[in-house]
C-alpha cells in the first residue's frame, strides 16, 4: 500500500506525477486544515513522551481474507450499469445515445479511466460491507465517485481559467445520471 501527500504550498524540488501514475491511486482524499481541538491533539501526540508501542492487529492472511470479503459483496447488474454510466459521463466524447454531463463536455479533456470504475465499485463494496449491508446500493456508488474519480479527470485550460474543478464536474455527473437508464 502506498500513501502519498500533496503539499499545496511547497513545490520546489517536487514534481507532479504524470496522469498515468496518478490514475493508479485508488482515492484522492481532500483534507481540511485541522480544527482547534485537532491541532491541540496533534500537539499532544507529537510533543509529549514517546508514542505507545505498536502492536499487530491484523496479519497477512487476515488482510487477504478481508480483501476477498470486499470482492465477494454482490453487485447487481443495474447498480453496476449505474456506475458505468457515471464514469462514461465524465468523458467529453461519448458513444451515440449517451450524453456527457455538460460541464464534462465543456471542461474535460479526458474522463475517468477503467481504473476509476474499478475504484468506485470496490470502494462501494467496502462501504456496503462496513455498513453491514449484503449488497452495494446506488448510494454506495454515489458516495464513492468523488474520492475515486476526482484525480482521474484531466481538465482543459478553460476549466482552470473559469475556476471549475473536478468536484463541480463530478457533482453534476452524479446529479444528472439517473439510477436506471
Q: What is the per-residue pLDDT across 122-133, written as a single tens digit (0 to 9) for each?
A: 999 999 999 999
Band of residue 42 on the pLDDT scale cut at 50, 70, 90? confident
Predicted local distance difference test score (pLDDT) of residue 8 = 62
Q: What is the per-residue pLDDT across 157-169, written as a single tens digit (0 to 9) for each?
A: 999 999 999 999 9
**Domain range 19-176, CATH class:** mainly alpha
- The domain spans of the chain are 19-176
Phi, psi at residue 109, to the nearest 5°? -80, -50
Amino acid at each position: 500500500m502506498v500513501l502519498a501527500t500533496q503539499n499545496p504550498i511547497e513545490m520546489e524540488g517536487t514534481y507532479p506525477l504524470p496522469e498515468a501514475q496518478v490514475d493508479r491511486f485508488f482515492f484522492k482524499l481532500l483534507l481540511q486544515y485541522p480544527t482547534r481541538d485537532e491541532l491541540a491533539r496533534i500537539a499532544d501526540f507529537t510533543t509529549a513522551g514517546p508514542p505507545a508501542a505498536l502492536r499487530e492487529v491484523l496479519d497477512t492472511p487476515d488482510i487477504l481474507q478481508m480483501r476477498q470479503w470486499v470482492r465477494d459483496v454482490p453487485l447487481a447488474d443495474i447498480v453496476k450499469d449505474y456506475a458505468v454510466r457515471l464514469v462514461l459521463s465524465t468523458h467529453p466524447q461519448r458513444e451515440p445515445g449517451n450524453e456527457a454531463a455538460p460541464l464534462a463536455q465543456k471542461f474535460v479533456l479526458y474522463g475517468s479511466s477503467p481504473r476509476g470504475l474499478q475504484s468506485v465499485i470496490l470502494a462501494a463494496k467496502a462501504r456496503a460491507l462496513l455498513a453491514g449491508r449484503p449488497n452495494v446500493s446506488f448510494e454506495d456508488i454515489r458516495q464513492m465517485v468523488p474520492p475515486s474519480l476526482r484525480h482521474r479527470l484531466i481538465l482543459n485550460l478553460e476549466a482552470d481559467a473559469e475556476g471549475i474543478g473536478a468536484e463541480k464536474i463530478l457533482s453534476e455527473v452524479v446529479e444528472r445520471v439517473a439510477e436506471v437508464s
